[in-house]
Chains A and B, each alone.
Chain A
């Protein structure tokens, strides 16, 4: 039986889709049969990050309306076995997502997959609600700044009150905190919230810290999930995070500022933080 994981945040632009793509890819690389679903109906993005936008024929809404079947609709990743993408519809809006429809599709997938990763849209409206409603676990993506932390807190409240598990009184959703775009040097300067401050406010276990990295933008533009860039800091951080999700004990990396030597400062100007 598959486990359903929602990647959510409340706030937009914090890295939900980047995380969904990297996390799903990471699980598939570990040998689990994984599907990643784009719940952002009307603002389809996941297919771009996953590099399969030209192969989209049918979408999530077609599947809900039974205009296509699972086999026709799921896009199989070209490079990684066990990885499938369910794109959102670009021409519809979130009202096309119905509780019954989403449940039906998820139930069908549950038989075939090990993990179902739901990429939530921003906000707390229909799309976000549908993405988290059936979840068993949640990865709450948070940037180290106050508005993102506040929105994550709001989403955590919704996870504990408006999900299926909450409504039916089952075990609560397992919550994980993922801090993205973390820049230790800016934390040292006091420009950014520190990991501890965020954890104090949200009070849920930390599953990873993804550093602010040029590799992320590069990967997005290339349509290759950043986790596949094995030499990048962000790619390594995502690999660690997948390991922690699977229960392995991996120490946090990239959480303290690097001491920059004189020559490095002189010759490596492009890495100077903005």
Chain B
């Protein structure tokens, strides 16, 4: 109700919100080279760059170089990219950027930028895909993995395992295990000793009360075939 009255009395309302913005790291300020490189990049994915808001990051720019902000902004706009702001700029450059109508953005910590993009993705690949848990998973605990999940101990009643990929349990699984939670039908659950409350793959589940015999077994391999969950 209060919101409705507010709407009639004022013409706008301010609220904070988070957006994902593309960041363009400037290596040097040669405007012609910039234009050429930009054209090439856009040619590869024209739709992706259509009216995309862009932030200029100057952290990679040699400190003694000056930047012609109006020219760069102009060049971006001509290529249907909207320059919105500047980050990691020196004070002098920041003043020039403001004069060119670019917003000062909060600086991203340099440590994030130091690593080369390629090595960064590699690091992610090793740390993010598989999670290994060596402690027992107790009642009330929830373990989530963006990739596969390996538990070397037991999983108690009332505990929950969630993984986008496969789940492996080397102890006794007494709790719940949900593999392929983002809809990955190829995910499986492997378990040395299964006494689970529930197993689920890609959203399809079997409860202990549904089928006692099946959920109590050794060396289980749970997978999805068509619309049915099989336990072998």
Interface residue ranges, A against B (CB under 8 Å): 150-151, 153-154, 156-158, 160-161, 200-201, 203
Contacts and interface: CB of A to CB of B under 8 A. Distances in A.
A15 to B, nearest CB: 20
Nearest to A166: B135
B140 interface: yes
A154 B138 contact: yes
A91 B140 CA distance: 32
Interface in B140-179: 140-141, 153-154, 156-159, 171-172, 174
Given A157-B138, A157-B139, A200-B172, A150 B154 contact: no
B144 to A, nearest CB: 14
B136 interface: yes
B158 A203 contact: no
Contact of B158 (A153, A158, A161, A200): A153
Interface of B: 135-141, 153-154, 156-159, 171-172, 174
A201 B174 CA distance: 9
A140 to B, nearest CB: 11
A157 B140 contact: yes
B209 to A, nearest CB: 16
Contacts of A158: 140
Nearest to B174: A201
Nearest to A201: B156
List the 7 shortest-distance A-B pairs measured between CB atoms, nearest first.
Answer: A157-B138, A153-B139, A154-B139, A154-B140, A153-B156, A157-B141, A153-B138
Given A157-B141, A203-B136, A203-B154, 5 more contacts: A150-B157, A153-B140, A153-B158, A154-B140, A201-B156
The listed residue with most A CB atoms (<10 A of its CB), out of B139, B141, B159, B172, is: B139
A130 to B, nearest CB: 19
B174 A156 contact: no
A173 B141 CA distance: 18
Contact of A150 (B136, B141, B153, B158): B158
B138 A160 contact: yes
A160 B157 contact: no
A157 B136 CA distance: 8
B151 to A, nearest CB: 13
Nearest to A200: B172
Contacts of A156: 136, 138
Contacts of A153: 138-140, 156-158
B171 to A, nearest CB: 8
A138 B170 CA distance: 26
Contacts of A157: 137-141, 159
B110 to A, nearest CB: 27
A233 to B, nearest CB: 31
A161 B140 CA distance: 12
24 contacts: A150-B157, A150-B158, A151-B139, A153-B140, A153-B156, A153-B157, A153-B158, A154-B138, A154-B140, A154-B158, A156-B138, A157-B137, A157-B138, A157-B139, A157-B140, A158-B140, A160-B135, A161-B141, A200-B172, A201-B157, A201-B174, A203-B136, A203-B153, A203-B154
